[in-house]
Amino acid sequence: MACRVLGWAVPPPPRLTRRFLFIFTLSLSCTYLCYSLLFCCDSLMQSRGLGEHRCLLIRNVGGKKLLQKSPYCSLEGPAPSAASPGAPALSSAPAPAPRLATTNHSSTPKLGTKRLPQAIIVGVKKGGTRAVLEFIRVHPDVRAVGTEPHFFDRNYDRGLDWYRSLMPRTLESQITMEKTPSYFVTKEAPRRIFNMSRDTKLIVVVRNPVTRAISDYTQTLSKKPDIPTFEGLSFRNRSLGLVDMSWNAIRIGMYVVHLESWLQYFPLAQIHFVSGERLITDPAGEMGRVQDFLGIKRVITDKHFYFNKTKGFPCLKKTESSILPRCLGKSKGRTHVQIDPEVIDQLRDFYRPYNIKFYETVGQDFRWE
């Protein structure tokens, strides 16, 4: 039916035009619906992400591990029941209490790195090396291996990675140390240590070679009671005064002979000699010089020591972290076997030229004569 506009007759729109208008209207409606759904989903995702972000911030303030999600951060999970004391409130929910330390070391962060030693106590056996190691371990800037690795004399074929695995973890400001007294008399040890690091600092604890030999024999006798006498082992021919230099207890005390091998690889300034006798009479003074040599602050002083009259040498006083004073084990300070004074005089005569040359080489008189 035609319409009249201002007196003119307008024909009805064609069927094609009406279909186009219908499709256009329908497409606008669908587009509006899609945009509405997308907007709602986006709002929900942003809300969820904000909640997770808050959980991360809460962990950063109150948790032990930084920026790590925990089950209570999930939107579906239950809210924590207790807040961390002293932590700032970053959300309406209270922050969780800090997690207590557990015995599960896999979840505990390990501080420091295992490094090859920067300093080594290389000798000598029965000179006082254990005392030096235990005393220097009191220093906060030093970490040391408790047992003797014997890497450069017995376990060198295991490789540096194995050697490094034995070391304690240290911070950049700390020194890693170890002690193996047999290195000093091992011919290959100087070259092997040099190949590891030419900057390695070496500490040698020396003692009157006659007293050292008797102490060495006393230790062996406690383990093997059937060994020959000290006199029988010391001489090839006692009446002629021929000392058996092949016996290890005698050979170790020829310090200058062994030192020559070390000076082929390391300058004398890189080797520090500790007097075993002064370590007993003045432990703080000797350890002060050790600390200077290592380039660390003098922390170990007189206040750390007391003299144990039973053992006959100094021990460490009780500290805040220890319940009892620290003394060396039962094997240290044992009574020496009685030796014929004439044998002692003969050995002193034997060692005298070696001692004098040793004094001249290191520029220090140890007064063993």
Q: Which residues are catalytically annotated?
A: 126
Per the rule left: phi > 0, alpha: psi between -120 and 50, beta: everything else, 281 is: alpha
- Per the annotation, does 207 bind a ligand? yes
215 is in an annotated binding site: yes
Tell whether 334 is in a known binding site.
yes
Report yes or no: 72 and 59 within 8 Å, Cβ to Cβ: no
3-state SS, one letter per residue, for the chain: CCEEECCEEECCCCHHHHHHHHHHHHHHHHHHHHHHHHHHHHHHHHHHHHHHHHHHHHHHHHCCCCCCCCHHHCCCCCCCCCCCCCCCCCCCCCCCCCCCCCCCHHHCCCCCEECCCCEEEEECCCCCHHHHHHHHCCCCCEEECCCCCCCCCCCHHHCHHHHHHCCCEECCCCEEEEECHHHHHCCCHHHHHHHHCCCCEEEEEECCHHHHHHHHHHHHHHHCCCCCCHHHHHEEECCCCEECCCCHHHHCCCHHHHHHHHHCCCCHHHEEEEEHHHHHHCHHHHHHHHHHHHCCCCCCCHHHEEEECCCCEEEECCCCCCCCCECCCCCCCCCCCCCCHHHHHHHHHHHHHHHHHHHHHHCCCCCCC
Q: Is 108 annotated as a binding residue?
A: no
**Is 170 annotated to bind ligand?**
no
Q: How far apart are CA 136 and CA 203, in angstroms?
A: 12
Does the annotation flag 336 for ligand binding?
yes
Instruction: Look at residues 121, 109, 176, 112 and name the one whose alpha carbon lies nearest to residue 152.
Output: 121
Please check if 332 is assigned to a binding site.
yes
**Whole-Å CA distances, 225 to 219, 234, 249:** 10, 17, 16
The reply, when asked if residue 127 is annotated as ligand binding, is yes
| 335 annotated to a ligand binding site | yes
Pick out the residues of the known binding site for 3'-phosphoadenylyl sulfate.
126-130, 207, 215, 332-336
